[in-house]
């Protein structure tokens, strides 16, 4: 079967000069629309495409142009001089010109040749642009040379795409004070796939299996590329996630080392390990990680959020200065911390098949249940305005205690654009859910309302909306006063 892995690897076969064959690109519709419009404008345009490693930048930029000619170059983590030579050699092959690297001793001469050497409207992609120089200062000097050439008048239409995985360094190219400030006609940061597109990429047909797969493999395209839909879900988990030689396990274990711009990687990994261990607040994370709770820790946390390794959240309706809670954003990392790290010695000693049967299988439902809440939140943002669902202006959760110190968790708390309050419950269950879920939900809202939470009082008003999500459907009479929206798993995959 021609899997996404085949497609993913094919993108690199002709990387270097030109590939006119276009392969299917999943999702990324907005990015494609913008880039194709710029390429077809008949003008000279510049775009900036960034994103963490393995997010699919190269695949997108080498497989979206249909029959449009393009020149693609990926820089290597080497010297600027070596990259200049390779760029000229690759462009010579692309343009079928006799170009000699020694005739282009500066970046200005290289950029001038590439931009003027086009015989027709084209696309130029300079991937891993951050490698063209050492450090941010060196890259700014390269950007200055590019800007000097870009300022020269010309009638040749071209789309120049700068791409790279060093997020902070690449985004700085468009910031004030950069030589390229104001030059970019379009900027985007690629994000992981949501559950819907993860299912499409994997080729799975059953929604329940796709939801479990997403909870384990997450939305990073490179991790999903390892999924083999010719074998069972259990075999995929054992081979890719649990086995010491597992492809995704090894990618996760080395992911931080592969991220550009991260210094002192050990401290970042210690933070992730602390959060994976259930610590959600900054002071507790600092103590477990052996770090000071200072500006340095805040910068590291912000960087991990920027790279989509962490989420930061507050309770719905919390004051701006309320405590921030952190959680692992990458579901593959969640799986790794929940199962692989905790059972590393058993996996080495007994093997993935036995550990799955004895540990992972019995606990998988509980684990997927928490990930299912993320799937539901993604769906509500995607489906707002359809299926009787209102458009939401903000969406969150609430977790804490009422005035009697009883622990309470509300899976969904939201506000509509017209000011109504939305609350709800999410259940990853084996059997249909009965109307007692609604009754219990109202009891929790009443306890929180009497504890002084205004949003809970609003959630008890006649115009409030309740959303209940059950993976296995519903049973009984749900004809209660007010607006109830009932969603099954199938409703989340449309």
Residues 295 and 253 in one domain: yes
Highest mean pLDDT pick, 119-123, 162-166, 239-243, 253-257: 239-243
Model confidence band, residue 118 (pLDDT cutoffs 50, 70, 90): low
Highest mean pLDDT pick, 71-85, 146-160, 383-397: 71-85
Residues 407 and 339 in one domain: no
Asked if residue 419 has pLDDT above 90, the reply is yes
Asked if residue 2 has pLDDT above 60, the reply is no
Asked if residue 7 has pLDDT above 50, the reply is no
Asked, for residue 394, whether it belongs to a domain, the answer is: yes
| The predicted structure's pLDDT at residue 92 | 92
Residues 250 and 313 in one domain: yes
Residues 139 and 238 in one domain: no
- Out of 189, 210, 234, pick the residue that ends a domain: 189
| The predicted structure's pLDDT at residue 11 | 35
| Residue 296, domain CATH | 1.10.10.10
169-182: per-residue pLDDT in tens? 888 899 988 999 99
| The predicted structure's pLDDT at residue 8 | 39
| Residue 433, domain CATH | 3.40.1350
Residues 182 and 210 in one domain: no
Asked, for residue 379, whether it belongs to a domain, the answer is: no
222-252: per-residue pLDDT in tens? 999 999 989 999 999 999 999 999 999 999 9
pLDDT, average across residues 136-148: 91
Asked, for residue 81, whether it belongs to a domain, the answer is: yes
State the residue for tokens 């790794």: 336
| The predicted structure's pLDDT at residue 23 | 56
Asked, for residue 414, whether it belongs to a domain, the answer is: yes
- Out of 167, 189, 211, pick the residue that ends a domain: 189
276-289: per-residue pLDDT in tens? 888 999 999 999 99
Q: pLDDT > 90: what percent of the chain?
A: 72
pLDDT, average across residues 35-64: 92
Residues 293 and 413 in one domain: no
Model confidence band, residue 320 (pLDDT cutoffs 50, 70, 90): confident
Model confidence band, residue 14 (pLDDT cutoffs 50, 70, 90): very low
Asked, for residue 377, whether it belongs to a domain, the answer is: no
Residues 346 and 451 in one domain: no
Count of domains for the chain: 3
Model confidence band, residue 119 (pLDDT cutoffs 50, 70, 90): low
- Out of 307, 339, 372, pick the residue that ends a domain: 372
What average pLDDT does the chain have? 89
Q: pLDDT > 70: what percent of the chain?
A: 94
User: What are 427's strand-pairing partners?
Assistant: 470
Higher pLDDT pick, 277 / 418: 418
172 CB-side CA count, 13 A: 16
Predicted structure pTM score: 0.87
Residues 230 and 166 in one domain: no
Domain, as residue range, for 323: 195-372
| Residue 127, domain CATH | 3.40.50.300
Residues 47 and 141 in one domain: yes
Asked, for residue 480, whether it belongs to a domain, the answer is: yes
Asked if residue 335 has pLDDT above 70, the reply is yes
Burial of 213 (0-12, 13-18, 19+ CB in 10 A): buried
| The predicted structure's pLDDT at residue 10 | 34
Residues 293 and 406 in one domain: no
Asked, for residue 141, whether it belongs to a domain, the answer is: yes
Asked, for residue 378, whether it belongs to a domain, the answer is: no
pLDDT, average across residues 378-397: 88
Asked if residue 393 has pLDDT above 80, the reply is yes
Residues 334 and 348 in one domain: yes
Residues 159 and 289 in one domain: no
| The predicted structure's pLDDT at residue 156 | 80
Highest mean pLDDT pick, 116-130, 163-177, 198-212: 198-212
What values do phi and psi take at 211, rounded to 5?
-65, -40
What span, in angstroms and rounded, lies between the C-alpha atoms of 91 and 149? 17
Asked if residue 467 has pLDDT above 70, the reply is yes
101-112: per-residue pLDDT in tens? 899 999 999 999
Distances (CA, A) of 370 to 280, 313, 377, 469: 15, 15, 12, 13
Model confidence band, residue 117 (pLDDT cutoffs 50, 70, 90): low
Beta-carbon count within 10 A of 454 CB = 11
Asked if residue 260 has pLDDT above 90, the reply is no
Higher pLDDT pick, 156 / 249: 249
């Amino acid at each position: 079967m021609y899997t996404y892995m085949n497609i993913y690897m094919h993108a690199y076969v002709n990387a270097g000069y030109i590939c006119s064959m276009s392969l299917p690109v999943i999702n990324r519709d907005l990015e494609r629309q913008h880039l194709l419009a710029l390429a077809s404008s008949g003008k000279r345009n510049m775009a900036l495409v960034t994103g963490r490693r393995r997010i699919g930048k190269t695949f997108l930029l080498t497989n979206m142009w249909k029959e449009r000619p393009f020149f693609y170059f990926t820089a290597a983590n080497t010297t600027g001089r070596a990259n200049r030579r390779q760029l000229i050699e690759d462009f010579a092959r692309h343009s079928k010109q006799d170009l000699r690297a020694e005739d282009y001793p500066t970046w200005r001469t290289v950029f001038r040749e590439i931009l003027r050497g086009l015989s027709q409207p084209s696309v130029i992609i300079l991937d891993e642009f951050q490698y063209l120089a050492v450090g941010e200062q060196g890259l700014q000097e390269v950007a200055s040379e590019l800007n000097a050439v870009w300022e020269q008048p010309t009638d040749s239409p071209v789309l120049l795409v700068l791409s790279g995985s060093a997020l902070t360094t690449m985004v700085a190219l468009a910031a004030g004070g950069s030589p390229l400030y104001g030059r970019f006609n379009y900027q985007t940061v690629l994000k992981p796939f949501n559950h819907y597109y993860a299912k499409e990429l994997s080729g799975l047909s059953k929604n329940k299996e796709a939801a479990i797969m997403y909870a384990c493999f997450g939305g990073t395209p490179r991790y999903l590329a390892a999924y083999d839909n010719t074998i069972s879900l259990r075999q995929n988990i054992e081979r890719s996630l649990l086995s010491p030689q597992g492809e995704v396990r090894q990618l996760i274990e080395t992911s931080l080392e592969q991220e550009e711009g991260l210094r002192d990687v050990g401290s970042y990994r210690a933070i992730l390990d602390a959060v994976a261990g259930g610590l959600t607040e900054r002071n507790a994370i600092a103590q477990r990680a052996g770090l000071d709770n200072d500006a340095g820790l805040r910068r590291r946390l912000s960087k991990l959020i920027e790279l989509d390794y962490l989420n930061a959240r507050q309770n719905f309706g919390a004051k701006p200065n309320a405590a921030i809670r952190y959680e692992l954003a990458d579901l593959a990392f969640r799986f790794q911390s929940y199962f692989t790290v905790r059972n590393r010695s058993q996996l080495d000693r007994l093997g993935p098949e036995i550990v799955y049967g004895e540990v992972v299988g019995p606990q998988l439902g509980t684990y997927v249940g928490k990930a299912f809440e993320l799937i539901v939140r993604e769906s509500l943002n995607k489906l707002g305005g359809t299926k009787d669902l209102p458009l939401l202006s903000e969406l969150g959760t609430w977790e804490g205690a009422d005035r009697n110190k009883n622990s309470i968790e509300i899976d969904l708390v939201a506000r509509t654009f017209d000011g109504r309050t939305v609350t709800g419950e999410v259940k990853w269950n084996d059997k249909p859910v009965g109307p007692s879920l609604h009754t219990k939900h109202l009891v929790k809202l009443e306890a929180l309302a009497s504890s002084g939470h205004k949003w809970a009082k609003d959630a008890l008003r006649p115009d409030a909306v309740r959303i209940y999500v059950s993976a296995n459907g519903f049973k009984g009479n749900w004809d209660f006063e007010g607006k109830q929206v009932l969603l099954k798993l199938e409703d989340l995959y449309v």
